[in-house]
Structure 1
Amino acid sequence: MDVRSDDAMLGRLTPSASGFVYSHGVRTEPRLLDQYREDWIGHGIPVEVVDRAVAIQRLWGGLVLPPGPFYDGGPRYFDVGGFERSESGEWLFEVGPSRTAVPYGFMIGPEGAFGIDTGRWVPLHGTIEGWIESLSLAHDAFVYAERVTRYTGTRVETIDFTELEPIEVVAGITDRWWRGDGVLVACCSGEVEAFDAPQSRVALRFTGDLNWLANPGLP
Structure 2
Amino acid sequence: MSALSYVARYFVTIHSRRVDVPPLDRERWRAAGVRESEIDRAAGFHERWGGLVLPPSLAYDGGPRWLAADLPVGASGADRFDAGQTRSALPYTFDIGPNGEFGLGCGRFAALHESVEGWIESLALTYYATVEARKITVVDDVDLSGFEPVEEVRGVADNWWRTKTTLISVHGGLATYYDQPEATSARVYEGIPTTGMLSPRATRS
TM-score of the two chains, using structure 1 as the length reference: 0.84
Tell me how many residue pairs correspond in the alignment: 201
Identical counterparts, % of pairs: 37
Q: What's the offset of the Cα at 1:213?
A: 6.8
Of 11, 21, 27 in structure 1, the residue corresponding to residue 18 of structure 2 is 27
Of 82, 96, 101 in structure 2, the residue corresponding to residue 94 of structure 1 is 82
Q: 1:59 aligns to what SS in structure 2?
A: helix
Of 97, 104, 109 in structure 2, the residue corresponding to residue 121 of structure 1 is 109
Of 49, 67, 71 in structure 1, the residue corresponding to residue 60 of structure 2 is 71
Structure 1: 4+ residue segments shifted above 4 A: none
Q: What's the offset of the Cα at 1:63?
A: 0.7
Report if aligned partners of 1:84, 1:91 keep a CA contact under 8 Å in 2: no
Q: 1:53 aligns to what SS in structure 2?
A: helix
Aligned in 2, Cα 1:40/1:118: closer, same or farther, shift over 3 Å? closer
CA RMSD of aligned residues (A): 1.9
Matched letter for residue 180 of structure 1: T
Counterpart in the other structure of 2:94: 106
Distance between the aligned counterparts of 1:182 and 1:209, measured in 2? 5
Of 171, 188, 191 in structure 1, the residue corresponding to residue 154 of structure 2 is 171
Report if aligned partners of 2:73, 2:106 keep a CA contact under 8 Å in 1: no
Q: What's the offset of the Cα at 1:95?
A: 1.1
Counterpart in the other structure of 1:12: 3
- Structure 2: 5+ residue runs without aligned partners? none
- Structure 1: 5+ residue runs without aligned partners? 1-9
Q: 2:131 aligns to what SS in structure 1?
A: helix
**Deviation sequence 1:159-189 (CA, Å, 0-9, x none):** 2212111111111111011111201011011
**Deviation sequence 1:196-215 (CA, Å, 0-9, x none):** 22221111110013234773
Moved more, 107-116 or 44-53: 44-53
Matched letter for residue 23 of structure 1: I
TM-score of the two chains, using structure 2 as the length reference: 0.90
Matched letter for residue 53 of structure 1: A
Aligned in 2, Cα 1:214/1:13: closer, same or farther, shift over 3 Å? closer
Q: 2:20 aligns to what SS in structure 1?
A: coil
Aligned in 2, Cα 1:160/1:64: closer, same or farther, shift over 3 Å? same
2:39 is the counterpart of 1:50:
yes
Report if aligned partners of 1:165, 1:178 keep a CA contact under 8 Å in 2: yes
Q: 1:91 aligns to what SS in structure 2?
A: coil
Q: What's the offset of the Cα at 1:195?
A: 1.0
Report if aligned partners of 1:62, 1:79 keep a CA contact under 8 Å in 2: yes
